[in-house]
Amino acid sequence: MTREPHSSDEKTSYDGSMSERVASELQHRIILSKIPVGTWLRHDAIAREFGISRTPVREALRIMAARGLVTIEPHRGARVNGQSVQDVLEIGVVRADLEGLAASLAAVHMDDEQAERMTSAWSSFAETLEQTGPREELAEHWIESNELFHSTILEASGNKYLQQAIADLRRKLPHNISFGAYAGSSRLIARNMAEHQMIAEAILAQDALKARDLMNAHIRKSVEATAHWINRKAPNTVR
């Protein structure tokens, strides 16, 4: 009997990717209180909704448990712990300091290829912003640009322990969730883009202190806007 090459590897990769997507979607709903604190998340119900087997669902719940979002109880499922607006703000304070440190290190260590990636991150989004397209398309371009910008700076910091710490905080509060706070406000989007440009200019000028201060302020504003948005969307969120 012949065996298709790499089939188990491909399935494992698919399940892992699906688990991450399910975990992120459920986390988004919890943050907005669309899934209230105390709710029981059942394997079968989630599997039916997403059209997947129970295996990636179990892994998704494990991911969420590691992030502190749920508590898994054998034979019962997972109970939602939730993330309050206060949680979001407290995570944001730590993220602001760490990403500020990453920006200051990037100002010293960034190479030419990384500098090109950083500065070009927002060019395509700026073009998209000038066009009138669906919100989903705008969100997709913003997320891609935001991810490229911040991941390049983090890479350029050259500190793997700092990278791991920030990655852990982003798992607890995805940084791209902030687009929800900006959508529908051209003023906030323009401010966000201007902040990215100032950070990039400070890094290129090798001004580590300025890069650190600008990134710190940028993350704090982003988190505060996100917390305000969550508060409006989910007024019953625990504070």
CATH at 20: 1.10.10.10
Checking DSSP bridges between strand 77-80 and strand 40-41, what pairing results, if any? antiparallel
Domain end, chosen from 80, 108, 134, is at 80
Same domain? 16 vs 62: yes
- Domain CATH for 163: 1.20.120.530
Residue 209 has pLDDT above 80, yes or no: yes
pLDDT category at 16 given cuts 50, 70, 90 is: low
Whether 73 and 90 map to the same domain: the answer is no
Q: pLDDT exceeding 70 applies to what percent of the chain?
A: 84
Task: Specify the pTM.
Answer: 0.74
Single out the residue in 30, 55, 80 at which a domain terminates: 80
* Calpha distance 157→168 (Å, rounded): 17
Give residue 45's domain range. 7-80
Would you tell me how many other CB atoms lie within 10 Å of the CB of residue 125? 22
Number of domains observed in the structure of the chain = 2
100-140 tens-digit pLDDT: 999 999 999 999 999 999 999 887 777 766 665 556 667 77
The confidence band for 13, taking pLDDT boundaries of 50, 70 and 90, is very low
Question: Lowest mean pLDDT: which of 19-23, 136-140, 184-188, 233-237?
Answer: 233-237
Q: What is the pLDDT of residues 149-190, one digit of tens each?
A: 999 999 999 999 999 999 988 878 777 778 878 877 778 888
**Same domain membership, residue 155 and residue 42:** no
pLDDT for the residue 15 = 58
Are 57 and 114 part of one and the same domain? no
Residue 21 lies in a domain: yes
d(CA 22, CA 56) in angstroms, rounded, equals 8
What is the H or E stretch that residue 213 is in?
Answer: helix 208-233
Average pLDDT, the chain: 84
Q: For the segment 30-60, what is each residue's pLDDT rounded down to a tens digit?
A: 876 688 878 899 999 999 999 999 999 999 9
**Is 239 part of a structural domain of the chain?**
no
The answer on 120 and 58 residing in a single domain is no
Nearest CA to 99 among 224, 222, 225?
A: 222
Residues 29 and 140 in one domain: no
Dist. CA 144–CA 65, nearest whole Å: 27
